[in-house]
Structure 1
């Protein structure tokens, strides 16, 4: 699985949550050619058909339901890529929270991402802003864990 897939999905998920984005704008943000972008999107759509919708005049749009299916089909070694940029960490963090309903130990996140607790707090603040519009979805810090609550996320016991 290509690192660019992760970057494309992260940008579409975070920056354009419910709107179309022109291919030229997306390829410029990713610093890749339009052709490379089309190829990567075609490959992702071969894995999960329709995960990224395309339209000649509108551009690209991420189908969030298929996005979650796509995330589950990503190889484990790809899921363990350590994101370096804040926008990549926030997308990675959200994915980890959705895949781990019991939550994630905050100290483990700091170690895994090689960041300070201050940087993690800033990322969590940005993630809270990003999900604010989703009714019932929230982030909680409980007993040294970060937990996503609501919107289909099960509320199970915290596992140390």
Structure 2
């Protein structure tokens, strides 16, 4: 009997801690066309109030994506970007790859706290890029909030 009680307690604890790590996103379309299908986490965009921020982006790959070092086909990529509007650049914080059945294939975390600012934001924000569209959406939402006051 004690054995079953111990197993039950361990399962309960494991379920409680694994549930706490789930992230609820509020995905909104950013770019949906034949070439790209990209969504952003609206809940994050609503809370941005500084020139540097993090934002989750979800991208659907059709056809599926193949990358060296990953044996399975990648259907979706969820990426946490770090953005600096003053430098007008962005970098990567985390990337999660999913298979067609929505299971995680591989996940990478980049330690942006231990690198210099010069290397934290390595990609420029270019015209007509998904990141430029995201910033345009951020500015639109800010303007909308201001006009509602």
Taking structure 2 as the reference length, what is the TM-score of the superposition?
A: 0.24
Q: Rg bigger for which structure? A: 2
Flag the structure with more relative contact order, 1 or 2, with Cα contacts below 8 A and sequence separation at least 6: 1
Flag the structure with higher strand content: 2
Q: Answer 1 or 2: which has greater helix percent.
A: 1
